[in-house]
Homo-oligomer: A and B are copies of this chain.
Amino acid sequence: MTEPVYDQPALVESEFLQGLPAQDRVAILGVAQRRPVERDHFLLRQGDPADRVYLLAQGRLRLSTVTTDGQEVIVRYVAPGEGFGVAAALKDITYPVSIEAVENSLVMSWDRATFAQLMERYPRLAMQAMQTLAFRMREMQDRVRELQTERVERRIARALLRLVRQTGRKVETGVLIDLPLTRQDLAEMTGTTLYTVSRVLSQWEQAGLVESGRERVLIRAPHRLVTIAEDLPPQPTPDK
């Protein structure tokens, strides 16, 4: 994992470098700093000076904040090809999240000044950064709406479906969320407790919706999960 990084599919198809000709992509990636981060290690901690813009080349990261009284909140998982730290490097003095690798990962990064120059030189890059920010903004807004209006069960369903989209891997019996994922993690994503997550998953397991074990969730019936997430009429039983 040392040489051929520039033409990895994750980087070529990356939202981050979208719309840029191959030669510009190479130029931009060429001046990036590269750094491997091992599983369970932190790339940086909440409160560190926000001086770099990042792009994930390989692996998987988790961004989380911890409140003053110690409660953790998972802000999001980062997949290969996604940028992160853009907003912070642009606006803040320190990063508002801690960043941990949940798989062995490789991150590319530019310091703030370099990235500013790059954006100036490649306006397309600036445009992309902006669109990404706009997109994340929208996601956050949706999450606020969810938290304000929806019950726990539905929020968990949505969280799982998001994970399926981002890191789902098809297997014979369904879609596996290809990530070590504890009850606690799900709780921190949805604003509930690990106990409630455990109860909900148990119930779904009974119903044949999912199959879950230690740090592992397999979705057996994604469409039924969707009906829970969207409050559609209960599929198999058309009574009422």
Contacts and interface: CB of A to CB of B under 8 A. Distances in A.
Interface in A105-161: 120, 123, 126, 129-131, 133-138, 140-141, 143-145, 147-149
Given A96-B141, A141-B75, A133 B65 contact: no
A31 interface: no
Contacts of A123: 120
Given A131-B90, A133-B134, A137-B133, A144 B144 contact: yes
A135 B91 contact: yes
A148 B73 CA distance: 8
B138 A137 contact: no
Contacts of A67: 145, 149
A208 to B, nearest CB: 27
A176 interface: no
A92 interface: yes
Interface residues of A, number: 38
A156 to B, nearest CB: 13
Contacts of A143: 144
Interface in A56-91: 65, 67-69, 71, 73, 75, 86-88, 90-91
B140 A91 contact: no
A231 interface: yes
A65 B149 CA distance: 11
Given A131-B91, A149-B67, A73 B144 contact: yes
B73 A133 contact: no
A147 B149 contact: no
Contact of A129 (B120, B130, B148, B188): B130
Contacts of A190: 148
Interface of A: 65, 67-69, 71, 73, 75, 86-88, 90-92, 96, 120, 123, 126, 129-131, 133-138, 140-141, 143-145, 147-149, 188, 190-191, 231
8 contacts: A71-B148, A73-B145, A75-B144, A96-B138, A126-B130, A130-B133, A133-B133, A133-B137
